[in-house]
Amino acid sequence: MQHTIENLTLKLNQQINFIYDGINIPLSPMQLATNLIGIMRLDSKTPAPVPFTNHWTEQDAVLITYGDSLEKKDGHNVLEPPLQTLNQFLQGPVREAFNSVHILPFYPYSSDDGFSVINYTAVNESLGDWSDINNIADKFRLMADLVINHCSSRSVWFDQFIKDEPPGNKFFKTGDAQADYSEVTRPRASPLLRETQTKIGQKLVWCTFSHDQVDFDFCNPDVLCEFVKIIRKYLDEGVKIFRLDAVAFLWKTNGTSCVNLPQTHEIIRLLRTLIEHACPDAVIITETNIPNQENLSYFGNANEAHSVYNFSLPPLLVNTLICGNSRHLRQWLMSMPPCQDGTAYFNFIASHDGIGLRPAEGLLSEPEINTLISTMMNFGGRISMRTLADGSLRPYEINIALFDALQGTTSGPDKFGLDRFICAHAVMLSLEGIPAIYIHSLLGTRNDYQRLENTQHNRHINRHRWDYDALNKELNKETSTHSAVFKRITDLLRIRRQQKAFHPNATQFTLQLSDELVGVWRQSIDRKQSIFCIHNITDQIVSLSFHELNLIEGVAWRDLISGDQLNQTKSTLTLAPYQSLWLSNL
């Protein structure tokens, strides 16, 4: 085992040398490597991780939620810590459908609903405490955010920066008023640099996202060490999945785009090295809301992120369903490389943010994106902007509840909203990768215009807070849309987790069907099960001949969703508007 630690030290030394090449750091790379091993409490008994191991199965599905998406209330008073309310919800029917939960930032924060962290090692007391997090982690695989690019301007570290006190005085990236930052990629419309008066004079602090979110300077290895301490803390509290928030912007070098730089990739590889030695079944997921090919680069050579957010799926799938044409989605599916063992796509349609438009660049034309935007605005959505190099603004994301986004087509609202919404999830659940469902999709939550008006923050349109008793009444009401959505999605998830052909790494082949259909063929790793997943993405009845599917004759094919046996005496299949079929040979 001593040999393992020696190999680990040498590997870390090599990674540190790459990251800090040309930078004068106080410790030698070998000393820094030894310190990191000590922080993670690795020793001669630490086993070496087995490469190319899949840490997931077809039974994996992630529920995405805020810690306070559900509240027990008496008027304006919250009656119990929301994390305890969430735990009660998770122990109900949800448990039959999900084995993992992503609790969005549950730390003390000053803005951005948690993503402007004041204290990384505490639980926001308005949500609960670490024991509440532990109780959830005991029953579910817990995913937590490592908000690694920036922290709150109200943090102790930034206060130290202002007072020129260690360690925070050297933790933050500063800029130069004379430098040219026109090439810097911006996800927001606010100015990049924030004027901040400190004890030693005025500083221009780098703020990629907002002036309350001040960017770290990872050129200082002390910042890296602090985050390794945070990772160790999260592992101790039961976190098994680390979501690296906004990690693409981590390393900044003047004269570059300051996104996707080589040092950023190497830091992710270093963090993975440490995490998988400390906890072999823990995984890293990178959140990089950028064009598709750039996003895929975060897999590295199966040595970087275990999983990447499949950011192109939401805009492409929503566009497919409102246009009734699968051509762009089909072409994209055909272009996506199958994941190596040890890596998997993280599939989602809706999130706490919105429908990102950068991941649609190069996949949808500008007129098509404009049509998507105008349709979503007709359904009550809002548009958030980003600043381009020339100072102009461009749409960055669509902010809308997914249920509202799919209440019609480019022709306007119609009667197929519920079926279209369920079809979207059936498509997503059939694809290669690990599925994740936002709590407000699971509950069929609508646009929250009141919260949007109260906060004037576009993203709050899709961040509703449910009164738990009111929600339970809706879920127990047979005529409730919320109940119908919840039942149909959880039914799909229960079916899915029993099918080996839906393993995240099972073979996927895109079927060449008409533009009115989306079809993929999945085959289990042991090649025993095949599932033909066929979805009518239009508001019309669509027929499909058996010959187009090339089904093996003599096999009893059954639709897993309806339970019906396929009648092979007929020559065609008929799909109702937005109907999905999962045809299995088992």
Residue 347 and residue 314: Cα distance in Å, rounded?
Answer: 9
Give the amino acid at 93. Answer: P
Give the amino acid at 193. Answer: L
Catalytic (active-site) positions:
245
CA angle (283 as vertex; 282, 284 as ends), nearest 5: 140
Return the C-alpha torsion angle 572, 573, 575, 579, nearest 10: -160
Burial 220-240 (b: 16+ CB within 10 A, else e): bbbbbbbbbebbbebbebbbb
Residue 359 and residue 294: Cα distance in Å, rounded?
Answer: 9
Which residues, including other chains, have CB under 8 Å from residue 189's CB and lie 6 or more apart?
Answer: 385, 386, 387, 393
Which residues, including other chains, have CB under 8 Å from residue 230's CB and lie 6 or more apart?
Answer: 120, 121, 146
DSSP assignment of 483-520: HHHHHHHHHHHHHHTT-GGGSTTSEEEE----TTEEEE
Give the amino acid at 171. Answer: F
* Pair 370, 410: CB distance under 8 Å: no
Indicate the angle between helix axes 262-278 and 221-236, nearest 10 degrees.
30
Give the amino acid at 486. Answer: F
